[in-house]
Amino acid sequence: MIIRSLIILSLFDLGALVFMLAVFFGHAFWDLQRSRLTRLQYERLRREATALFGSGESMDREQFEKHARLNRSVLAEIAASVSGDARVSVTDTARKVGLLSEAARRCQSRRWWVRLRGVREFALYGDGEEVVPARLDDPKSYVRAASIAWCQDHPSEPIIERVVSMLDDADQRCRNIAEDTLNRFGDRVTAPLERYLARASSASRARALRVATRLADPRFLDASLDSATDPDPTVRARSATLLASITGTRAEQVLVGLLDDESEMVRVAAVRGLGRSQSWKFAPKIARLLRDQSWEVRSGAAIALHQIGPGGRLYLRRSLQDHDVFASDIARQVLDIPNE
């Protein structure tokens, strides 16, 4: 009797186990099939949407709502990879189906992560000129940083002016993104940056000078000359680099004067700038720095003389007999560099 009961109990447990395994594998198989169908459907919708946007048309709300969840993913994927007329179509679709109005509401949220999502949606889909600029003053740095990144695709004059002012933002992330954004704007940033440099403090001027150097516009001459006497050695060094990119008699005179600056980084920037000019008339002044106490300055001077050409290399060969060991050593090292 007991054995019979144990057998029945074992059979019952075995049946329960088989049933559980059947449910588990059946559910897994169903999920796999559903996932496969969803993926095929997604690919079909993506192809249709790509063809639609490529023709310059947009999707209306009825089309979008048929597969709202999948179409939202499709739209986000396409928005990140298109430009021109297709980008306009994506923005128009996002407006028609209400995604842009949702983003606008999120930008007004009391929760910073919701505001961040709203700004990022505008950056993805486009538009936002009436909403996002206000977020450049957001108390949360993450939101300000995302708003600066949004500005890259909206280079109007007021926006450029505002991004220039973000170079002195309290958060380093925002300052870095502002600098990168200004570099993307090209020469459209010249006039606003020139005005900014005229009023900027030492703390924020150094970063602005780096942006100006990439533009190398002669309109920055006055700002760079003024910065060459700044108390901050970083500002003076970047001023020297900017002066070297502008060139001209006044710029060269200031660069020569900066060869005697008390700061090592300033002397290095000045001697490298004069070397890029490849003018033999600076060779005697540069050669003096072969005896500088700083290896960076000596190295910069020797390389500058090498760049100048035969006249500069003549000074390097003379320095091989210099009683100053540092001068003769750095001259020997640089003379071993093959001539181009």
> Which DSSP string corresponds to 141-196?
HHHHHHHHHHHTT---HHHHHHHHHGGG-SSHHHHHHHHHHHHHHGGGGHHHHHHH
Q: How far apart are CA 317 and CA 306, in angstroms?
A: 11
Q: What is the pLDDT of residue 37?
A: 43
Distances in whole angstroms, Cα of residue 247 to Cα of each of 50, 190, 223: 50, 17, 14
Instruction: Look at residue 179 and tell me if it is in a domain.
Output: no
Residue 109 region by backbone torsions, left for phi larger than 0, else alpha for psi between -120 and 50, else beta: beta
Q: Is residue 217 part of a domain?
A: no
The two three-digit tokens of residue 183, written as one number: 């570099």
Question: Under a CB-based contact definition with an 8 Å cutoff, are residues 236 and 266 in contact?
Answer: yes
pLDDT at 29: 44
Count Cβ atoms below 10 Å from residue 253 Cβ, excluding itself: 12
pLDDT at 34: 45
Phi and psi based region of residue 126 (left: phi greater than 0; alpha: psi -120 to 50; beta: remaining): left
CATH code at position 323? 1.25.10
Average pLDDT by consecutive 10-residue portion of the chain (340 residues)?
57 54 48 49 62 63 58 72 77 84 93 95 91 95 96 92 92 93 91 90 85 90 90 93 86 90 93 85 88 90 88 86 84 76
In a domain, 165, yes or no: no
Residue 178 has a pLDDT of 94
- Residue 33 is predicted with a pLDDT of 43
Residue range of the domain that includes 340: 278-340
Per-residue tokens: 321: 């007999």
- What pLDDT score was predicted for residue 44? 63
Q: Over the stretch 16-46, which tens digit does the pLDDT of each residue have?
A: 555 565 555 445 444 444 444 456 555 666 6
CB–CB of 219/196 below 8 Å? no
pLDDT of residue 314: 87
Q: Into how many domains does the chain fold?
A: 1
Output the pLDDT for position 309.
84
Q: 108 in a domain, yes or no?
A: no
> Are 144 and 176 contacting, i.e. CB atoms less than 8 angstroms apart?
no
Residues 220-232 have pLDDT tens digits of 999 999 999 999 9
How far apart CA 268 and CA 299 sit, in angstroms, is: 9
Q: Is residue 291 part of a domain?
A: yes
Predicted confidence at residue 5, as pLDDT, reads 57
Paired tokens of 35: 């996932």
> How high does pLDDT run on average in the chain?
82
Residue 336 lies in a domain: yes
| CB neighbours of residue 19 within 10 Å | 10
State the pLDDT at residue 248.
77
Say if residues 219 and 194 touch (Cβ distance below 8 Å): yes
User: Looking at the domain assignment, is residue 325 inside a domain?
Assistant: yes
Is 310 contained in some domain?
yes
